[in-house]
Structure 1
Amino acid sequence: MAIRKIEHVGIMVTNIELSISYYTKVLGLEHRKTMTHSNGVIRLAFLAFPGHEETEIELIEGYNSELPAEGKVHHVAFTVDDVEVEFTRIKQLQVPLRDTEITTLPDGSRYFFFYGPDGELFELFQPGTAQ
């Protein structure tokens, strides 16, 4: 297995600009980038603590704004070296998958989601080269 670290924690938000402002001013995070998901609907923003960029907070706008406050954390993502190898490994373990294929973002990052034993959502994420 080639999981290296927690990649990011995805938090659903209703207004990404307002949330970026809050996370930078109140929590001291640095805004690294914002992009529109390859589905053309969801917007993603990535933030990290200055000098500690190994784990990020991912803000997700446009996914589902109807969840209660306790349900705003969407998923936990782990960095992997080869997302295709991990996708095959997870399928062979018969772990329930949310995704039937690997998704590629505009920056070349690739990922897929799967479920834990209590329905929690996990993501295996291979960063793109166009960082």
Structure 2
Amino acid sequence: MAVTKMEHVGIKVNHLERSLQFYQEVIGLTLQGILGQPGDEVRLAFLSFPGQTSVEIELIERAFEGLPQEGRVSHTAFTVDDIEEEHRRIAGLAIPELTGISELANGSRYFFFEGPDSEKLEFFQPAHS
């Protein structure tokens, strides 16, 4: 198995700029980058602690209808070193809700699947690996 670390925790937000300000000023995180422009269907912002970028918080801005006040954590992501190999391995285990491999604008690749209690999990291969 080639899972190498916890990648990020995705948090659903209604207003990216407001949440960015909060996570930077209140929590002390540093912005690593934003994918997407205002008005895009989905915008992502990645933050980490200064000097410690091994695990990130991903803020996900999109229209979330019926989003409850609890349960805003969207998914937990783990870094992998070979996205195709890991996708084949998970498919071979017949794990539910396996998606295809997708690619972000920066070249990072990922897929989702379900854990035993229907929790959403992501395997993520950064573009820089």
State the TM-score, normalizing by the size of structure 2.
0.93
- Map 1:32-111 onto structure 2 (within 5 A): 32-36=32-36, 40-99=40-99, 101-111=100-110
Kindly report structure 1 stretches of 4+ aligned residues shifted beyond 4 Å: none
Partner residue in 2 for 1:124: 123
Q: Deviations over 1:41-93 (max 9, x none)?
A: 11000000001100000000005253112120000000000111000000000
Distance 2:119 2:41 in 1: 23
Gaps of 5+ in 1: none
State the TM-score, normalizing by the size of structure 1.
0.92
Q: What's the Cα RMSD here?
A: 1.6
Report percent identity of matched pairs: 50
Distance 2:66 2:127 in 1: 31
Distance 1:50 1:118 in 2: 33
Is the alpha carbon distance of 1:54 and 1:63 closer, same or farther for their aligned partners in structure 2, counting shifts above 3 Å? Answer: farther
Amino acid at match of 1:61: E
- Map 1:5-20 onto structure 2 (within 5 A): 5-20=5-20
